[in-house]
Amino acid sequence: MYKTGSAKTNTEMILGGNMTRALLSLAVPIMINNLIQTMYNLTDTYWLGKLQTTRMAAISLVSPMQNVIIQFGQGITMAGAILISQYVGARDKENAKNMADHIFVCSIIFSVVCGLLCFLLTPAVVGWLGAEGDVYTLGITYIRIVICDLPFLFMINIYSAISQAQGDTLRPMQLNMLGIIINMILDPLFIMGFKWDITGAALATFLAKIPCAVIAFIAVTRGKNEIKADLKGFKFNGNMFRNIISVGLPTALGSSTMQLGFLLMTKNVLMYGDGAMAAYGIGNRINSIITMPANALGGAVSTIVGQNVGARQLDRAVGAYRKGRLMSVVFLFVLGLILSKFLSRPIVEIFTHDESVILMASEFLSIMAFWCFTNGVYNTTTGIFNGAGNTVVTMIVEATRLWIWRFFTLYVFRTFFHMGVESVWYCVVASNGISAVIIYILYKMGLWKMRIRRLVNAYN
């Protein structure tokens, strides 16, 4: 049984306590928090699925566009979590607080600028994706509304990053729980009650973020954790900014280019029709829930490695990674077998009554569930690289996962095996498996330790 205490208590456990307990105390709230975040899109998908397949196709088409910006911005907040955790492990509170200030300022500026650019460029991008008619109109409507929540979303992410770096993953989870409760109330009210269609879904998501962002701002500047942002005396520090760029930019580029790859993938899926696009969106959203344990344990490994790198305890950092990897792979292997054999169709039927969509989505989900254990290797190994500050490697592997392996396998399956839409399903699991093997080999080569000495010494 896991227990989650204060950030100070969790730091003591991370640096010297039971490792299984430390992993679970961080990973369980992260997993629930990720589930809550996913519920925003799942709630929209569920209620819009009661209208027409076109609505789901529109959301599935434009969601990667939103995710490109979100993932790039999260590179900044992830850099904050990594760097602050290393300062915490080194017992350097002054620099940890200074880093929190810089992460806050950089993230908010980025969210405002990118939100404006995305709003202006939306019609051109949606048109480039090949959308026409209702899918084009509905896609623009949805993305232009939800993109307005970027400053609020990034405020929540800043709070999560600063808290997670200190070992506190419980309070961010509770904050996001509030947001999804509001969204789950507003979605049916706006979509079915007020008949606002896809506009109602977007507004529900946007409005649910506002109270959470206000609470996050108060918590970041006046909360209970030791490390807070103090903007009154903020002074720009070039070294801090360079550290954020050196750690955060590779993560941002890797994640955002991956999302650009997803954007191009949607263009390939749309050629098979709105039904295939809807099936692809449903399958991906459900798969994001299945792989949450791997994502959560990867985040937990990153925090534990970061603090132990700061404390010069590399053996303990490696032990955390190995245990996290084993837990993740075993859990996902068992869960994937159950879902692929018995539950893929019943789960898909929750979101749509279109039989053609059900057949495609359940096949896609079954294939992904069976092979999801590879995500356990990939995410936890990414966690040890990120925690050590070596984000260049994860950037390269993440980018090649989509831009090389996914499109290469898609071409092979489509051209030589004539698999049609099934080529999309199989290229997803093939590229994930190839990337998991690659990053594990790089870990065995010791590349995760490349930046440790320079990063740690530079902060002293």
CB 300 within 8 A of CB 381: no
CB 55 within 8 A of CB 247: no
In this predicted structure, which of 75-79, 90-94, 409-413 has the lowest mean pLDDT?
75-79
Residue 362: pLDDT above 70?
yes
pLDDT-derived band of residue 285, with 50, 70 and 90 as boundaries? Answer: confident
Q: Which amino acid is at 283?
A: G
- pLDDT, average across residues 240-269: 78
440 inside domain: yes
End-to-end CA distance of the chain: 37
CB 441 within 8 A of CB 384: no
Q: How far apart are CA 386 and CA 252, in angstroms?
A: 12
116 inside domain: yes
Q: How far apart are CA 297 and CA 1, in angstroms?
A: 16
Q: What percent of the chain has pLDDT over 70?
A: 94
pLDDT tens string 104-143: 998 889 889 988 988 898 999 888 877 888 889 988 998 8
pLDDT-derived band of residue 9, with 50, 70 and 90 as boundaries? Answer: low
Q: How far apart are CA 339 and CA 95, in angstroms?
A: 46
pLDDT value of residue 171: 87
What is the torsional sign of CA 423, 442, 157, 123?
A: negative
pLDDT: which is higher, 254 or 181 = 181
Task: Say how far residue 289 (Cα) sits from the centre of its chain.
Answer: 11
Residue 5: pLDDT above 70?
no
Kindly report the CA angle at 442 between 292 and 28, in degrees rounded to 5?
20
Burial class (CB in 10 A: 0-12, 13-18, 19+), 426: buried
353 inside domain: yes
pLDDT value of residue 8: 62
CB 40 within 8 A of CB 205: yes
C-beta atoms surrounding 444 within 10 Å:
10
Q: How far apart are CA 413 and CA 420, in angstroms?
A: 8
1 inside domain: no
445 inside domain: yes
184 inside domain: yes
- Per-residue H/E/C for the chain: CCCCCCHHHHHHHHHHCCHHHHHHHHHHHHHHHHHHHHHHHHHHHHHHCCCCHHHHHHHHHHHHHHHHHHHHHHHHHHHHHHHHHHHHHCCCHHHHHHHHHHHHHHHHHHHHHHHHHHHHHHHHHHHHCCCCHHHHHHHHHHHHHHHHHHHHHHHHHHHHHHHHHCCCCHHHHHHHHHHHHHHHHHHHHHHHHCCCHHHHHHHHHHHHHHHHHHHHHHHHHHCCCCCCCCHHHCCCCHHHHHHHHHHHHHHHHHHHHHHHHHHHHHHHHHCCCHHHHHHHHHHHHHHHHHCHHHHHHHHHHHHHHHHHHHCCCHHHHHHHHHHHHHHHHHHHHHHHHHHHHHHHHHHHCCCCCCHHHHHHHHHHHHHHHHCCHHHHHHHHHHHHHHHCCCHHHHHHHHHHHHHHHHHHHHHHHHHCCCCCCHHHHHHHHHHHHHHHHHHHHHHHCCHHHCCHHHHHHHCC
2 inside domain: no
pLDDT value of residue 284: 84
Task: Say how far residue 291 (Cα) sits from the centre of its chain.
Answer: 11
pLDDT tens string 32-51: 877 777 777 667 767 876 76
| Counted domains in the chain | 1
Q: How far apart are CA 8 and CA 228, in angstroms?
A: 14
pTM > 0.85: yes or no: no
pLDDT tens string 156-214: 989 988 888 888 878 888 898 899 899 889 999 998 889 898 899 889 989 999 999 99
* Mean of all residue pLDDT scores within the chain: 86
Q: How far apart are CA 253 and CA 182, in angstroms?
A: 32
The range of the structural domain enclosing residue 324 comes to 7-458
CB 102 within 8 A of CB 240: yes
Task: Say how far residue 371 (Cα) sits from the centre of its chain.
Answer: 19
Residue 458: pLDDT above 70?
no
75 phi-psi bin (left φ>0, alpha ψ -120 to 50, beta other)? alpha
pLDDT: which is higher, 149 or 232 = 149
Sequence-distant (6+) residues with CB within 8 A of 445 are none
- pLDDT, average across residues 431-439: 96
Q: How far apart are CA 309 and CA 456, in angstroms?
A: 8
pLDDT value of residue 378: 96
